[in-house]
Structure formats: structure tokens, C-alpha cells
Structure 1
Amino acid sequence: MAITQQTFDFLNQLKINNNREWFHANKKEYDGVKASFEESIQELINSIGTFENLSGVKIKDCNYRIARDVRFSANKDPYKTWLSASFSEGGRKSGKMDYYLHIENGGSFLGGGMYSPTAEQLAAFRQEIDFSPESLKGIIFDPLFVKTFGTPEGEKVKTSPKGYDKNHPEIELLKWKQMFFWKKFTNEEVLSPNFVEQVTETCKILKPYLDYLNVIFFDHEEPDIQLL
């Protein structure tokens, strides 16, 4: 079952009526939307699993709840107005860099990368750039990668990170505090019969960058990344 227009219609109405009374009154419609999204998640587990180790990963390990955690948020809307899932070895709670899929009316995308690194991870990222900048540059400046994702997204320091000279030859890469990439999908692309295939092919292009991060964050050895 592919994602249908019903998904966007429901999310649009939820944005207008973001309260528990409306949600529970329309629970049957949500259940249908959730079921179609979960079928797409399973299809993606199967297809991404051909090049990533998703052994044992189930739908519940990828899917995010639609209910928002409002305890520490100024926004008290009880529900998200999008659907989302992420795919990685061990599931979304593993801590590994993952492929994140976001379905929202006019705002769907597939993304991934270094979004909230620990201080240790950021230090390892910068150290790897200092020691071997060509590894990262060969990935993010690859023509197909650039065509798909464009330039990096995320925050940068304004001058130079502590411990690095402002005249370092790779200072612009070293400035990144975050570095993630995303590819947007139109509603028409999301609703197309080959959407799972489009997402899968996008994941394959993103894979070398996620591999790069997972190696330096978790394997503590020099990355040996092969471009697809």
C-alpha cells in the first residue's frame, strides 16, 4: 500500500485541529494513514536492508510516534503534523547515523548526517578532517552527491574552532558544528508508485557519508569509504 492523498489530507486537517478531541474523533482515519505509512516503512526496511545491516529491525524500531513530547516545549500542540521514520543498524534508538524520512504536506524529505554530535564526536570529526581531508571531500563533493543533496546544512563557528589555526587549509570544513544533507520530495513524488525506490536510491547516495561518520564515531579507525 503506497502513501496516498489521504495522508496529506489528514495531516492538513491535523494542523488546523491539533487537539486531542479532534484526533480521537478521527482516530479511524489516522489508523488508515498509519497503516499505509508502516507498509512503506517495511518496504524500505527490505530495500535498504540490501545494502545496510537491518537484521532484526522491525517497523516499530523505525517509526516515530505522532504524539509530541511537550514537557519541555513552549509549543504545547499534542501532535506532530508529519510522519517520520529512520533506518539504521539496530533501529532508531541505536545512536548510529541513520537515514531519516519525513513526510509532510509540501515538506517531505530524506536526510541524514551529523545533527547533534557529542563533544567527542565533533572532535573526532574535526580530527579526521585535519588528518585526511580528502576522505570527506571525496564524498560530499562527488558530482552525484552534490546533484542530489547540494551543499551541507547546519551550524558553523564564525571564526575557527579551538585548537585550529584560522589559516588552516581546510578551515571552512573545520568550522562545521553540524553537517547534514537532505533531499526534498514533492507531494507528487511521495504519492508516486515508485516512491520507495526513489528513497532507496537516495539512501544509496547518502550512504558513504553516513558510513564515514559511523566509522569515526563508533569504530575509531580510519574510514575506508567506497563510493557507490
Structure 2
Amino acid sequence: MIQESTLHFLTDLQENNHKEWFDANRKRYDAAKKNFLAVTTELLEGLAKQDEAIAQADLDPKKTLTRINRDIRFSKDKTPYNAHFFTTLSAGGKKSPMAGYYLRVSPDESFHGGGVYMPDNAVLGKIRQEIDYHVEEWKAIVEGPELTTHYGALQTNGALSRPPKGY
């Protein structure tokens, strides 16, 4: 379980997102990261019981976490740290094009989800093709009560305004 102290650290980091503060609060960061790693480990163990690919992948929980440091080279926002913890649990590892599970924890915007994030064109084409071949089965899953009761409708932000070429 995410501890209150982890959320307090992330809240404080949002308000003091600079190196001097972070360095002075390194022990708090280490404790918060340890807590999130424990949650990730527990989540992986649970998923391994349900998802054979995750079980066989034998993922190292430490390697599923994203870094706290932001890549600010091309960003207008120059704050150096992410004020959240994020893990990607995919059988192929966090940089894999395979579908996976996601967990983000922050004081004001936590979420969990699953799927493929920004697949390359070849993978995206295969996904679209499989959905097209099995559209009724797809609709039954994404519009069915087992999914919508717990998660609501699919996110549609970033959806195409018209079908892709060939569809």
C-alpha cells in the first residue's frame, strides 16, 4: 500500500522542485521510492498469478520503475524531477513494444491502466488489423459491463478524427 509519507514527499516535491531541496530530502525520497518499489513488487506477484507472460518474464521490479529525473533538454518546463512514481509492467520490459500494465502514483493524479503506449507503425498496423478482423469481439470487450463497470469508457483523448488509411 502506498504510504501517506510517500504522498507527502511527492506533494512537497511538487512545491519545491529544485536540486537543493531534493538533495536535502534525499532520505525521504529513498523511503518513498522503497515504498513504491514494495507496491510494485506486490503488484507484479499478483499479476504473475493472472498473466502467464508476466510470470515467465521474471521481471526485476527495480527495472520497471521510471527515473525521478526528468529529461528537460527539449522541454519548456525545466523542473528537474518528476513529482510522481511510475512503473511499467510488460513481459518484454519497460521499453518493450508489447502491451503491459501501468501504475502512476502522484498526490493529485494517480492512475492505472494497460495497453500499448505509442506503438511504432508496424505494431500499430498489426493492432488495427486484429481489431478490424475481430471488431464484434473487440466491441463486446471494451463496451461490456466487466470493463465499463470498473473502469468506465476507454480513453479517447488523442483519437483520430477519421479512420486511418485502409480502414
Instruction: Specify if TM > 0.5.
Output: yes
Aligned to 2:143: 141
Aligned to 1:190: none
Residue 40 of structure 2 corresponds to residue 37 of structure 1: no
The total of aligned residue pairs comes to 163
Aligned to 2:104: 102
User: How do 1:152-171 residues align onto structure 2 when only pairs under 5 Å count?
Assistant: 152-153=154-155, 154-164=157-167
Identical-pair percentage? 37
Q: Deviations over 1:42-98 (max 9, x none)?
A: 111111111223342111221111111112222111000111111121321232111
8 Å Cα contact 1:61/1:93 also seen in 2: no
Q: Secondary structure at the match of 1:50?
A: helix
| Unpaired stretches in structure 1, ≥5 consecutive residues | 165-228
Q: Partners of 2:92 and 2:160 in 1: how far apart? A: 32
Q: Secondary structure at the match of 2:28?
A: helix
Cα 1:3/1:132, change in 2 over 3 Å: closer
Q: Which structure would you say has the larger RCO, counting Cα contacts within 8 Å and 6 or more residues apart? A: 1
Report the residue type matching 2:98 in the other structure.
K
Report the residue type matching 1:158 in the other structure.
S
Q: Measure how far apart 1:125 and its partner are.
A: 2.6
User: How do 1:145-224 residues align onto structure 2 when only pairs under 5 Å count?
Assistant: 145-153=147-155, 154-164=157-167
Q: Secondary structure at the match of 2:22?
A: helix
Cα 1:9/1:78, change in 2 over 3 Å: same
User: How do 1:44-59 residues align onto structure 2 when only pairs under 5 Å count?
Assistant: 44-52=43-51, 53-54=54-55, 55-59=57-61
Cα 1:160/1:93, change in 2 over 3 Å: closer
Which of 68, 71, 74 is 1:72 aligned to? 74
8 Å Cα contact 2:142/2:148 also seen in 1: yes
Report the residue type matching 1:163 in the other structure.
G
Q: Secondary structure at the match of 2:159?
A: coil
| Unpaired stretches in structure 2, ≥5 consecutive residues | none
Report the residue type matching 2:149 in the other structure.
K
Q: Measure how far apart 1:108 and its partner are.
A: 1.0
Q: Partners of 2:135 and 2:26 in 1: how far apart? A: 51
Aligned to 2:7: 8
Q: Partners of 1:135 and 1:4 in 2: how far apart? A: 40
